[in-house]
Amino acid sequence: MSKKRSTKALGRGLDAILTSPETDITAGDISGNFVAGAIAEIDLKKIEINPFQPRSDFDEMLLRELSESIKSQGVIQPVTVRKMGYDKYQLISGERRLRASKMAGLEKIPAYIRVADDEQMLEMALIENIHRKDLNAIEVAISYKRLQEELNLTQEKLSEKIGKNRSTITNFLRLLKLPPTIQVALRDELISMGHARALLPLENKKTQKKILKEIIDKGLSVRQVESMVREILHPQPKPEKEPVIDIPDEYRRVSDELSKLLGTKVNFRRNNKGKGNLVINFKNDDDLERILKILNK
């Protein structure tokens, strides 16, 4: 479409449309033409941080690595921003790229420009965040929780919106019921999500923290933790000890006399009814033959 036809279709000067504070959502593409929704090179100073950003923890070393990559190769994946007014933008997604670009000393960054209200802004930021591969389990859980609460979604609707199984969402949300100490350990990758889930059935917070310490100190596997939790929740009854039998004095000497006679240890047991057993110990086959010869006499 030519510039002349575009102007006629829009009904007013194209330059006026492109620079209007209300409708300035266009950008220049590589051919130099202005195309609505294309990628723009935006001054970093004109982009404000997204207040709905669910992620607050950024690894400094990884940021520096990304910064070095940006210095040599530039920003490969554009960030996404929304129009806030004339020449003013707010970040929707890509805060890590934005931070690394500032660290690299860049003045501008490629960006997709979108128009969104606050609810759409939050939704886009959270959903974009959820699908990142480098998020820890707690960050994902918080994102699910915010989407559910702030957009008033049931778990079923949330499942449909983000394309995740409902059971997956439930498992993540349950992590937020754990004590802060365990959530921090999971966030900092001191334990895995499997470890954290294994601790969920325990209601006693002190017991959860005690097992957490053992996981970290002893490097317990998820299976070991599951086993510990099962034993706490469903303790196995201890086998009853046999009652102590008071052996009459005349029988107390039996084991000693037989031990001396046979030259080996002899265990003697007897119950109140007079029933019992003798256990004669031997070291090897030769020792057994020796004992048998003595008994044969």
Strand, helix or coil at 214? helix
> Residue 25 to residues 36, 39, 121: CA-CA distances in angstroms?
6, 10, 16
Classify residue 167 as exposed, middle or buried by CB count within 10 Å of its CB (0-12, 13-18, 19+): exposed
Contact predicate 92/123, CB 8 Å: no
- Give the whole-angstrom CA distance, residue 86 versus residue 131: 31
Query: How is 247-274 classified by DSSP, letter by letter?
Result: --HHHHHHHHHHHHHHTS-EEEEE-TTS
Catalytic residue status for 95: yes
Contact predicate 193/225, CB 8 Å: no
CA atoms within 13 A on the CB side of 33: 7
Q: What angle do CA 192, 194, 200 make, to 5 degrees?
A: 110
Contact predicate 29/38, CB 8 Å: yes
> Residue 12 to residues 5, 20, 21, 137, 219: CA-CA distances in angstroms?
11, 12, 15, 51, 70
Strand, helix or coil at 77? coil
Strand partners of residue 108: 43
Which one from 41, 95, 250, 257 is the annotated catalytic residue?
95
Strand, helix or coil at 161? helix
Enzyme catalytic residues: 95
